[in-house]
């Protein structure tokens, strides 16, 4: 018995796990999460991962009842989400590490629905005001100094950030 569709879905995952460990025997199973938020973070800002591989990861998360997928989409090295309003984010801001690779808006919607069907909450992350060298290289007028800015080529902490006092 389950109180929600999500509880039933996760209960089926428990039955699947028990079966794979040697089959069933008659038993009563009391199963609930020790923590309400069981998450996994994937950093595609630094390294692009194809959509089909992300779906495989989501399947594994659902199987083991991990209920939150934290999708880290931006970084100093790249901007991985399509922007029709700011198209330079998808070319200039993605010039390092798999240049020009980003997820279209349609792919993002598809992944949200894929997660939803598997009872996994997708939380996108777009870092602000820091971790923005990729965006600042594309739109230097959004920074505090006006640049010039370069897309980061290695990991690190950088002083250049979006200017919170800039009305743009």
Which residues contact residue 78 at a Cβ distance below 8 angstroms, ignoring those fewer than 6 apart? 45, 46, 48, 93, 94, 96, 97, 98, 101, 102, 134, 151
Give pLDDT tens digits for 96-143: 656 678 999 999 999 999 999 999 999 999 988 988 888 999 899 999
Question: What secondary structure letter does DSSP report for 41?
Answer: E
The pLDDT of residue 94 is 59
CB atoms within 10 A of CB 135: 28
The pLDDT of residue 41 is 96
DSSP 109-131: HHHHHHHHHTT-EEEEE---SSS
Look at 29 and 160; give whichever has higher pLDDT.
Answer: 160
DSSP 2-38: -SSHHHHHHHHHHHHHHHHTT---S-------SSS--
Of the pLDDT bands very low, low, confident and very high (cuts 50, 70, 90), residue 24 is: confident
Arithmetic mean of pLDDT, 39-50: 92
Q: Tell the residue number behind the tokens 């505090």, with chain if given.
A: 144
Arithmetic mean of pLDDT, 69-92: 90
Q: Which of 127, 134, 129, 125 lies closest to 152 in space, CA to CA?
A: 134
Look at 16 and 109; give whichever has higher pLDDT.
Answer: 109
The pLDDT of residue 97 is 58
């Amino acid at each position: 018995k389950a109180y929600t569709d999500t509880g039933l879905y996760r209960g089926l995952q428990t039955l699947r796990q028990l079966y794979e460990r040697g089959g069933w025997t008659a038993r009563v199973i009391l199963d609930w999460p020790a923590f309400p938020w069981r998450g996994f973070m994937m950093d595609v800002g630094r390294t692009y991962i194809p959509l089909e591989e992300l779906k495989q990861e989501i399947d594994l998360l659902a199987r083991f009842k991990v209920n939150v997928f934290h999708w880290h989409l931006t970084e100093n090295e790249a901007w991985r989400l399509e922007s029709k309003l700011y198209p330079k984010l998808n070319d200039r801001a993605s010039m390092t590490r798999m240049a020009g690779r980003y997820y279209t808006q349609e792919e993002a919607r598809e992944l949200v629905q894929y997660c939803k069907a598997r009872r996994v909450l997708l939380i996108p992350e777009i870092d602000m005001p820091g971790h923005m060298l990729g965006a600042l290289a594309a739109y230097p007028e959004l920074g505090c100094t006006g640049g010039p800015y370069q897309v980061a080529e290695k990991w690190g902490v950088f002083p250049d950030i979006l200017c919170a006092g800039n009305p743009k």
